[in-house]
Amino acid sequence: SFKTTLLGLIFKDWVPWLKMYRIYIIAYSSTTPIITKWLQTPNIKELLSKATQNSKDLDLNSFLIMPVQRVPRYRMLFRELLSKTPDFHVEYSYLTSTLLEIEDLARDLNSNQIQAERKSKMIEIAHKIANAEQINILEPHRQFIREGNLVIQYSDDRESLSNIFVFSDIILLGINQPQKDNMVN
């Protein structure tokens, strides 16, 4: 007798466990620059060179990105499986529902990563602003949206370059103070 393994059904029960990648993905983008700098240390280079001799030409960064790539790879796998499965096959509905759950998870993970990057950017801006204690930038409800440069033209034809920071509920206009290590007033 022929036994059918319903991959979609098995995997559907496993998809909720992939939510644990959220923490790793959020931390990954903020720690990568730190790790990259750390990897330039001679002792660390030597240690990693010895440790990765048998790793088939993969360096530490290649291993660190793997969890970030896992959910998108599962999404590609299930799209491919679904495209090769006839719609009358018993597995088709399970593959479809599993793919939908994986796509929802991928959107959720992307959204969480974007939110984490925006919060990190707000902290960076708060450190840049000279009078940050007067303007409480770090509010729980506030979201960073965009920053850019703004040229202000005065009536006497003078111009000044300013920074503009757009948040969900306020817009900050900063005047550059070059003498203070990239501080903005």
State pLDDT tens for residues 139-162: 888 889 999 998 888 888 888 888
What percent of the chain shows pLDDT beyond 90?
29
pTM of the model: 0.70
Per-residue pLDDT, 177? 57
Residue 115, both tokens = 């939110």
